[in-house]
Structures are given as structure tokens and as C-alpha cells.
Copies of this chain bind each other. A is one copy, B any other.
């Protein structure tokens, strides 16, 4: 029953949302400065000034009927051309605008791709920890999520478990690197091996197994970590991107799907993506933000703030005795719960006004996600509270 599922999805609040509501209430009670809210993944660094300037410039210059008018369903040609050129320059690839389909953000990129790829009853492999909405999106497409836990402590792929999860029913595998919630970045070695394993599985099961790379955090990598662009390691790849995090535009819903031209069936897949966008009610990506893309394809927000926060938080918490995944990207610190029940740990944290998210909804128990897309000053001020929490566990 479709309507029952929708009602339940609408009623069931996520743990993150519950915590956010609690934080709002608590801030009203004791003052916002006394609550250390690390619950959300909403970028704290604003979009760059040059971005706003370019927006104002095209608003002044261009005819509004063009600027706000329909674009073609796959997106404005200039925008797609600019994105392809930028990717080719950075990653040595050979994409054209015909391989790109602009979307209303990463969630849309995923629901559209999954609807184009998955048939009723097929399976989609995801790596735990994972973004909780993956299971919702997979189920919308009629698929069944199959979770494969990552390795501890580096959160790379456990290939033994992956191979056991692949079957003749596997339509796709989703990766999310840099990862929400762990901050881990899959190494080039992991991606290369993943490509080989999937190719072998395709041969073994005689079917396409698509690799969907959900990479809204792609530009948020620290320590000059090289980003292994997945189409170079596996031909049946689909990239889902969004400017939500790199340009701090999460509310504007602008992103894309990229299909690899090395997949010999890419034209059929692209048609399926166009069809799925249409069927789900996506007419085109927001036009104004499409038209600004050629001007800002090389811009990012000031990511150095997140790196500074990462260092500050990771060093302080591990010094206090907490165990945590070393985050090479994104803006989350994944802290091991000092007791088996992460929910109990996060409840204790609340006593010290620390709002952190238990990991169960991300598909693994025993961790807490600390979002450090906040001011460095909030992190500094929160450290005595984390210290008290550590002491409670005698770390």
C-alpha cells in the first residue's frame, strides 16, 4: 500500500530531526550559546562573495524570461558544457554535455538514477555507515537495500563481505566518499579493487551492476588526498553530484547525474534517466542556478575552515581518550561510543548540552556523529563539556 508507506515516512521523524527539535527547545531555555549543537550537516561557511556577485550580475543583465524560463529537461547546454570541461581538466576524463543531466540536488540525482536502474525486487548494495535516506530512495525504486559494513578503524571496503553480498539480483552498488557520517575517503586502492570486483561480478552473474557514486563531499577533502574519480576505475559508473556542500547551497537543490560514456549502454541509461526525471516530476533543475554554473564551476566555499575544525575536534577528543575515525573529508567526526549503546552515550552527552547523533540510523551501532560544520568558536567552547563526558566514562 503506497499511501501507508508515505504516511509512515512523513510521520517518522529521523533521529537527527528529533535532536534538532530538542536543540531548538533547549536553546530557548538556556540560551543558544550554552547549547553545543553538532546535529546537522548544514554548511556553516557561506557561499563565496564572488558567487553572490555573479548572481546579482546575471539578474541585472539577462532577460528574466530567459533567466527564469524552462531549460531543456537535461539542463542548459552551457552549464553542462562547463561542467564537462571542468571535470575533464581536473580528472583527465572525456565527458561531453550529452553525458550530464542536471538535477534538483543529490537526493533527486539518487532517486532518478535508482528509478532508471533498478527493477522491482532487485538489490542495491550500500556500505554501512550510510546516509539513512538511501534505504528510502532504494525502496521507492522498488529495490531492496543490502548493507555491507566497512572495516574498522579506517572505514575502507571489506571486500570479503562485499563479494558475499553481490548476487544475480544486484542492480547497483552505492558508494559515498567522502562519507557521511564517517568522514572516511575511499582510497584509490579501494576504488580500483572495487572496480575489479564489480567487473568480475558482472561477468559471473551475466548482468550490469552499476556503481553509483554519491559524491556531494567530493571537494571537501583535506591533507591533499587524491580523489580517485570512479569512472576511471569502472566503466558502468554513474556519478551523483550536488553543489550543496562545496558551494554551501543545500537549499537551492542543484546538482547533476553523470553517466560514463565507456559503458557501452550509456545511451539507454541516459534515456532511462530522462524518463525517470519526467516520471518523478522533475521538469528541469532550478534555472537561475543552472545559468550561474558556467561562472562558478571552479568556485568553492572556504573549505579551510572545515579542515581547521577537523584538526581541532579530532585532536582534542582523541587526547581526551575518545576513539574516532580520522576524517579525511566531509565535515563529520565519527566517534566510537565508550559504551555499546550509542543512544545511551548520546543521551549522556545531552547532560553536558552536547547534541551528537547516535549511529544506529546510519546502519551500524556503537558510534556518534559529530558535525563540525559549525563555528570553530563553538568547538572551542564545547571542549570542557566533552572533557566532562570523557570523565564520566573514566577515559
Which A residues contact B (CB, under 8 angstroms)? 1-3, 5-11, 42-47, 51-52, 55-56, 59-60, 63-65, 67-71, 104-105, 107-112, 115-120, 133, 136-137, 139-142, 248-253, 268, 270-276, 278-290
Contacts and interface: CB of A to CB of B under 8 A. Distances in A.
Contacts of A281: 104-105, 107-112, 137, 140, 280
Nearest to A141: B2
A108 B279 contact: no
8 contacts: A6-B115, A7-B272, A46-B63, A55-B59, A68-B249, A104-B104, A104-B286, A136-B279
A10 B70 CA distance: 18
A9 B2 CA distance: 22
Question: Which among A45, A119, A279 has the highest number of chain B CB atoms within 10 Å?
Answer: A279
A190 to B, nearest CB: 27
Contacts of A60: 52, 56
Nearest to A40: B70
Enumerate the 8 nearest inter-chain pairs by beta-carbon distance, A residue then B residue, closest first: A251-B287, A9-B275, A111-B281, A10-B275, A10-B274, A10-B271, A6-B275, A46-B64
Contacts of A115: 2, 6
A369 to B, nearest CB: 17
Contacts of A133: 278
A68 B119 contact: no
Contacts of A119: 1-3
Contacts of A288: 251-252, 288
Contacts of A268: 7
Contacts of A248: 64-65, 68-69
Given A251-B287, A275-B8, A43 B56 contact: no
A237 B310 CA distance: 50
A276 to B, nearest CB: 4
A73 to B, nearest CB: 9
Given A63-B46, A136-B278, A248-B65, A6 B253 contact: no
